[in-house]
Copies of this chain bind each other. A is one copy, B any other.
C-alpha cells in the first residue's frame, strides 16, 4: 500500500496534532498523490461539530493546513526528483493560511481534500485546496508553506537528543 506523505516524516516531525502519526489524540491527516493533485480523506468525529449538522470551521482550517504543508514537502521532493525517504529532509511550516467557507460543511460524511501546487520557488511553496463533501465544494484554501529554517531544524534535532 502506498505510504502517505506524513508517514515519511522523521520521528521529531511526527507528533503534530494535525498530521503526526505518533500523536494519538491528533487528526492523523494522510495525504497522497493522484497525478498532479494531492488528496486526503478525513472522517470527522461527532464532536467536530460547529452548529448542529455541520463541521467545525477550525477543523476545516486544520485539515487544509496539514494537508497543504504535507503536499508542499512532497512537491519539493518531486521537484528535486527524489523520494521522500531520501536525505536531506525537506520539511515545511505554514507562513499563511487562508480559508473561504463557501457553504456549511455537512457532518457525518467523509471530507475530501484535493490540492494543487500553485507555485514552487526557492524555499516557498503555495498550495491551493478544495474541501468537498459528497462531491460538493464546501471550502477553499490557500496555504503559503516555507521550508523549515535550518537553525530551527537544528534546534529541534538537539532537543530530540
Whether B98 and A94, one on each chain, are in contact in the complex, defined by CB atoms closer than 8 angstroms, is: no
29 chain-A/chain-B pairs, Cβ below 8 angstroms: A13-B51, A16-B49, A16-B50, A17-B47, A17-B48, A17-B58, A17-B59, A18-B57, A18-B58, A23-B49, A27-B58, A50-B93, A51-B93, A51-B148, A51-B152, A52-B156, A57-B93, A58-B58, A58-B62, A58-B65, A61-B62, A61-B65, A62-B62, A93-B104, A94-B101, A96-B99, A97-B98, A97-B99, A98-B98
**So how many copies of this chain end up in the complex?**
2
Interface size class of A (residues with CB under 8 A): 35 or more
Whether A50 and B98, one on each chain, are in contact in the complex, defined by CB atoms closer than 8 angstroms, is: no
| A43 lies within 8 A of chain B by Cβ | no
A69-127 interface (Cβ within 8 A of B):
93-101, 104
> Which residues from chain A sit less than 8 Å from chain B, CB to CB?
12-13, 15-18, 20, 23-27, 45, 47-53, 56-59, 61-63, 65-66, 93-101, 104, 148, 152, 156, 159-160
